[in-house]
Structure 1
Amino acid sequence: MANRSYLYSLSNRPTSYADRPETISGVSEWNYDVPFMYRLLMSGDPQLCASLISDGLDDDEADEKVKLYAISSNFEPGFARVKRFIDIVRFLATQAPSPATPSTAPAAAPKALSLIDRIKSRLSSAAASKAPPAVAAPAATTPATGSTQLPGWLDETLAFLEAHRDTHLLLETVELDTMSESEEGPLRACVEQELARCQQAGAALDALPQDIAAAAQLLREAGATKQAAPLDAFFGLRFDDDCDSTRSRATEYPLGLQWSEVLYFGLFNRAEFEAAQRGDAAAA
């Protein structure tokens, strides 16, 4: 089983494993990474909170459980940044490449023909006059963009997030963190580092110029060449159909445009959690 990051929309900031929201929905999950779009969504006042995936590690004693952390943020500020980011990426995806500069070299002077050359030329012209007319080949066209699918993915992203709006978001990285750590202090430090990356993603978006053409140009440059902070948060991103192609190694830093309500960990809301607790108590 792959270790994943998980993203949810929900109605509270959990203060404990049992502090369940009234409403909660899956938003996305990602194998072995936290995509940029998760971080941008989570950039609206991210704070440490309790994990809702687990109240401890598998081998913990019942009275000595490791406290596990997640990140909670306000939905609307992060979503506003995502919408602006999508506008800029869409602008990038619809830009035609610069046309080639026509050659301005002077034409070569015609070469003097010998008698034999003139005879050959007449024979060639006579043969050509008897041949059927040639069909002109269609002019070569250059697509406006190499991103045939990206605009559709951006549309799907906006539609999905609009349909799953809530007051808060929850980012769970416990599966990724436990790949390298098993104690409470280091596990908390992993989550704090991820929280800082969410803040950096928001700061990077805010640092782009208001003019969309200028913002798109700077975003393209920052994706390809590492810039000074906070723009370094964009480094490694691609803005074409390979934006999430981590399996093929076309990119190592996914944009993160895959969305689903159905996640490996489907978390209980308050009513479901309390019903499950009552069922466990009755079974005991």
Structure 2
Amino acid sequence: MANRAYLYSLSNRPATFADRPETLSGLSEWAYAVPFSYRLLMSGDPQRCASLIADGLADDEPGHPTPLYAISSRFEPGLARLKRFAGIVRALAPAAAEPAAAPAAPLAKAAPSLLGRLKRLFSSGHGTPAEPAPRAGSGAPRHELLAALDESIAFLEAHRDDYLLLETIELDVMTASEAAALQANVEQEIARCRQAGAALDALPADPAEAARQLRAATREHAAAPLDALHGLRLDDGFDGGGNQPVEYVLGLMWSEVLYFDLHNRAEFEASRQA
């Protein structure tokens, strides 16, 4: 099983494993990485909180669980930043044109559905892509990236709550097992979330200039805070589908159904009484 990062919306900041929210919904999960979209969403006041996935490690001595942490952040500021990011990416669309010598393209097909993109992403390790992959970060955003951003915002609007919860424990235990090291991993991730928000906030208010600086920062190493944008793709290879190389995924796949189906307060209490 792949180790994943998990993102939820919920109504509280958990102080303990048993401090369950009244409302809770899955949002997304990603194997072996924390995508940029997660960090941008978590950038609106990220703080260390209790993990709701596990209360200690499997090899802990009885009665002495290892403290496990997740990250909590307010929902609205992160969503506002993701919306602004989408607007800046959309401003890139008319800024770049296809080469004049390119052959005439067939009529554009409708943007693939979310299910279609999931199938393409998770089948990308088999076979060869139908077309040669463009250079990382090249060209303007095409219909698939723009549609994915629109779908992302619509999904998040429909699942908004007071807080977001980012669970990284499966990723953290890949490199650490001691309590202090696990906590340090979470603190480092909090810093990355703050850096993502600072990078977006540093882009100019003018959409065209913001788009120019965003594209440049994804391609070349920039000074802080814009260095947090390096490696993103702003074309239809944004999440690495179709065997396209990507250094830093945007992470625009969303679902209520995650591997860890966390319990809200009523469900948690019922499970303890069973």
Q: Is the 8 A contact 1:224 1:235 kept in 2?
A: yes
Residues 1:24 and 1:18: Cα distance change in structure 2 (over 3 Å): same
CA–CA separation in structure 1 for the residues paired with 2:14 and 2:182: 18
1:75 equivalent to 2:80? Answer no
1:259 equivalent to 2:219? Answer no
Give the percent of matched residue pairs that are identical in Structure 1 and Structure 2: 64
Q: Which residue of 1 aligns with 2:42?
A: 42
1:201 equivalent to 2:196? Answer yes
**Structure 1: gaps spanning 5 or more residues:** 101-138, 280-284
Residues 1:94 and 1:9: Cα distance change in structure 2 (over 3 Å): farther
Q: Is the 8 A contact 2:89 2:141 kept in 1?
A: no
CA–CA separation in structure 2 for the residues paired with 1:242 and 1:260: 20
Q: Using the TM superposition, name which of 142-151 and 240-249 deviates more.
A: 142-151
Q: Is the 8 A contact 2:140 2:234 kept in 1?
A: no
CA–CA separation in structure 1 for the residues paired with 2:141 and 2:163: 35
1:12 equivalent to 2:12? Answer yes
SS in 2 for 1:149: helix
Residues 1:174 and 1:83: Cα distance change in structure 2 (over 3 Å): same
Task: Output one character per residue of 1:119-148: Cα deviation in whole Å (capped at 9) or x when no partner.
Answer: xxxxxxxxxxxxxxxxxxxx8469995623
Q: Which residue of 2 aligns with 1:234?
A: 229
Q: Following TM superposition, by how much is the alpha carbon of 1:246 offset from its aligned partner in structure 2, in angstroms?
A: 6.8
Alignment TM-score, normalising by the size of structure 1: 0.81
Return the letter of the residue paired with 1:188: Q
CA–CA separation in structure 2 for the residues paired with 1:146 and 1:24: 33
Q: Using the TM superposition, name which of 147-156 and 69-78 deviates more.
A: 147-156
CA–CA separation in structure 2 for the residues paired with 1:272 and 1:98: 54
Q: Is the 8 A contact 2:47 2:72 kept in 1?
A: yes
CA–CA separation in structure 1 for the residues paired with 2:61 and 2:243: 42
Q: Is the 8 A contact 1:14 1:49 kept in 2?
A: yes
Computed over aligned residues only, the root mean square deviation of the Cα atoms, in angstroms, reads 2.0
Q: Is the 8 A contact 1:13 1:72 kept in 2?
A: yes
Q: Is the 8 A contact 2:141 2:234 kept in 1?
A: no
Task: Output one character per residue of 1:233-256: Cα deviation in whole Å (capped at 9) or x when no partner.
Answer: 000000111000078351021011
In the alignment of these two chains, the number of paired residues is: 242
Q: Is the 8 A contact 2:218 2:229 kept in 1?
A: yes
Q: Is the 8 A contact 2:237 2:244 kept in 1?
A: no
1:164 equivalent to 2:159? Answer yes
Q: Following TM superposition, by how much is the alpha carbon of 1:206 offset from its aligned partner in structure 2, in angstroms?
A: 0.3
Q: Which residue of 2 aligns with 1:173?
A: 168
SS in 2 for 1:260: coil
CA–CA separation in structure 2 for the residues paired with 1:277 and 1:209: 52
Q: Which residue of 2 aligns with 1:268?
A: 263
Q: Which residue of 2 aligns with 1:27?
A: 27
Q: Using the TM superposition, name which of 158-167 and 57-66 deviates more.
A: 57-66
User: Which of 153, 166, 188 pairs up with 2:183?
Assistant: 188
CA–CA separation in structure 2 for the residues paired with 1:275 and 1:141: 58
CA–CA separation in structure 2 for the residues paired with 1:56 and 1:252: 32
Q: Is the 8 A contact 1:246 1:252 kept in 2?
A: no
Q: Is the 8 A contact 1:6 1:29 kept in 2?
A: yes
1:147 equivalent to 2:142? Answer yes
Q: Using the TM superposition, name which of 247-256 and 70-79 deviates more.
A: 247-256
CA–CA separation in structure 1 for the residues paired with 2:242 and 2:147: 21
SS in 2 for 1:198: helix
Return the letter of the residue paired with 2:7: L
Return the letter of the residue paired with 1:40: L
